[in-house]
Structure 1
Amino acid sequence: MREIQLSRVLEGAVPFNENNVNSTFRGPVLTEDGETKLAVIKDLNLTQLCNELIASCLAEEFDLPVPKAMLGLVGEGVLDLRLAPQIENQARLVFVSLDVKVPNLSYKIRQSTPEKQSTIIDKVRNWDQIGGLYAYDSWIANVDRHAGNLLFGEPDEIWLIDHGHSFTGPNWNLNDLVPHKEYDNRLSEWLTKLLTAIQKQAGASGIREFSNKIENYNADAVMRDSRVAEILSSNASQALKEFLEQRVQYVLKHASAALGAPVLV
């Protein structure tokens, strides 16, 4: 598993996407390797920041496509931040992901002709990682996977973004982390109804495959490599670890229900 790197947000970032719930910027960051990269920078509270970091690490570990994530340091006066947690020397912590320069699925559909929309939707429906996506979102209790949280490029580039509402939501507390509970999986609201019976069957196979991969999962490494154990309280970190480990046994059930294609156990 790749450890989340640190980066420093440089001056020159500008706000974008006014429809976002949280303040989002696009601008240059300096990586640990000494490279300057264009990135998307998100002003998040501590809970959402940790959600994003863990979700990114898990997606990478299990071969789901996410832009490379980093933990960003913002010096005083560099950005107008409202939610980002503060550390020493007045610096703030933000979530950083490299800019893959492709539009989200919702925007892509809105800007296309009806004929092109049909082609785009067909590509999404036939994506070979549909089942893994359902399973992943069920595992991390992501309650906000709408079409704007998929980036869709050409010809078949798909990226998963915006995981601040994982682990039951953006402001979860310890009592919210119930491993067996069926949380809302928004894929069931818009993607499931687009899938044919054959596509659901393929998705069900993907769910089973993903569920087998995470069986007996030990979350020690992800808590360490995401850096969440460094910035979150020990009680909250332990609760997240236990949630991930105990929830694996329910992923097959919940993801299959969201897909609308029960999988025999």
Structure 2
Amino acid sequence: MTDNMVKVGRIISDSEPIEDGINNSFRCIACCDNEEYPVVAKYIKGIEILKELICAILGRLINLPIPEPILLLDQNDVFCFGSLDVGYPNLYHRLNIQDPYYIEFHSIIKNWSALESASFFDEFIINPDRHSGNLLYNGKDIAMIDHGLSMQLDKFKPDYDEDWNNILFNHLLCKFTELSCEHKLDKIALCNRLTIWCEEIEEINNNNLIAKAINKIPIAHKSKNELLYFLTSRSEFIQKIINNRINPNQMDFVNV
């Protein structure tokens, strides 16, 4: 892990409001380590800033397309969350539809190379806020944003395994609706890839990368340790949880 995993910067330009979203996001220029960057920023609660930073760091460690996060200070030394501006709109803006089961949304998502890893990730952090408004799309590439509503510590325990509306995972499983031999073999292959994915998460835990990153976030908040505990503990259960999602009638499914 490099020391600049958590960038801290200051807003140095006027803001340009972004119409989409409920958090009054805006574009601006930020200065970090004497370098200027175009960023998208938003004022949110301290706990949501922490979640955004932690999820972005974790997601980027497993090579998910999440814009680099920046902890920003405004002219009044108030913190807000920012990320590097990738320069393209979200799927809602491009498709003009919010419904994540809309056929055009599905046609884009089902061909996304990162769909498996992204759906595993949303299950891992229990992210209920995945829709066309927080997937950026330029006609070819997709980037994931908005993770501030994940890891709701007052609702979910690390071993939470009840079914919930994981949008990306539901799209991933659409191709397994038939119970033919071919689909069963596809499920076995998917579970084997899940094993590899979980090994990446375990390696991150073993190297304390998330703990080191959290300790570098200069925000004092009582939930820092709770969020770290949630992630490290959930890593112990996540493979079984997702296996059971893939094979709901085989609770003790074993990879082959």
The TM tier, using the shorter chain, reads: 0.7 to 0.9
**2:225 aligns to what?**
238
**1:154 aligns to what?**
139
Closer/same/farther in 2, CA of residues 230 and 14 from structure 1, 3 Å limit: same
Match of 1:248 among 213, 235, 248: 235
Closer/same/farther in 2, CA of residues 44 and 223 from structure 1, 3 Å limit: farther
Closer/same/farther in 2, CA of residues 164 and 228 from structure 1, 3 Å limit: farther
Secondary structure of the corresponding residue to residue 202 of structure 2:
coil
Closer/same/farther in 2, CA of residues 257 and 239 from structure 1, 3 Å limit: same
* Separation (CA, whole Å) in 2 of partners of 1:158 and 1:92: 31
Secondary structure of the corresponding residue to residue 47 of structure 1:
helix
Q: Which has the higher contact order (CA 8 A, sep 6+)?
A: 1
Q: Spell out, residue by residue over 1:185-234, the C-alpha distance to the aligned partner (whole angstroms, 9 max, x if none).
A: 431686357x3226x7465454332122223624743233245654233x
* Separation (CA, whole Å) in 2 of partners of 1:158 and 1:209: 23
- Number of matched residues? 235
Matched, 1:191 2:158: no
* Separation (CA, whole Å) in 2 of partners of 1:24 and 1:240: 24
Consecutive unaligned residues in structure 1, runs of 5 or more: 77-90, 112-116
Q: CA RMSD in A?
A: 2.9
Q: TM-score, normalised by structure 1?
A: 0.76
Whether the aligned pair in 1 keeps the contact of 2:122 and 2:166 (CA below 8 Å) is no
- Residue 248 of structure 1 aligns to which amino acid in structure 2? S
Whether the aligned pair in 2 keeps the contact of 1:16 and 1:25 (CA below 8 Å) is yes
Secondary structure of the corresponding residue to residue 71 of structure 1:
strand
Closer/same/farther in 2, CA of residues 24 and 229 from structure 1, 3 Å limit: closer
Consecutive unaligned residues in structure 2, runs of 5 or more: 98-102, 177-182
Q: TM-score, normalised by structure 2?
A: 0.79
Q: Spell out, residue by residue over 1:20-53, the C-alpha distance to the aligned partner (whole angstroms, 9 max, x if none).
A: 2222111111121x22221101101101000000
Whether the aligned pair in 1 keeps the contact of 2:47 and 2:223 (CA below 8 Å) is no
Identity, in percent, stands at 24
**1:16 aligns to what?**
18
Closer/same/farther in 2, CA of residues 260 and 106 from structure 1, 3 Å limit: farther
Q: Spell out, residue by residue over 1:144-190, the C-alpha distance to the aligned partner (whole angstroms, 9 max, x if none).
A: 112222112232x111100001112xxx45xx451101363431686
Return structure 1 stretches of 4+ with deviation > 6 angstroms: 260-263
Matched, 1:223 2:211: yes
Matched, 1:167 2:151: yes
**1:114 aligns to what?**
none
Closer/same/farther in 2, CA of residues 151 and 92 from structure 1, 3 Å limit: same
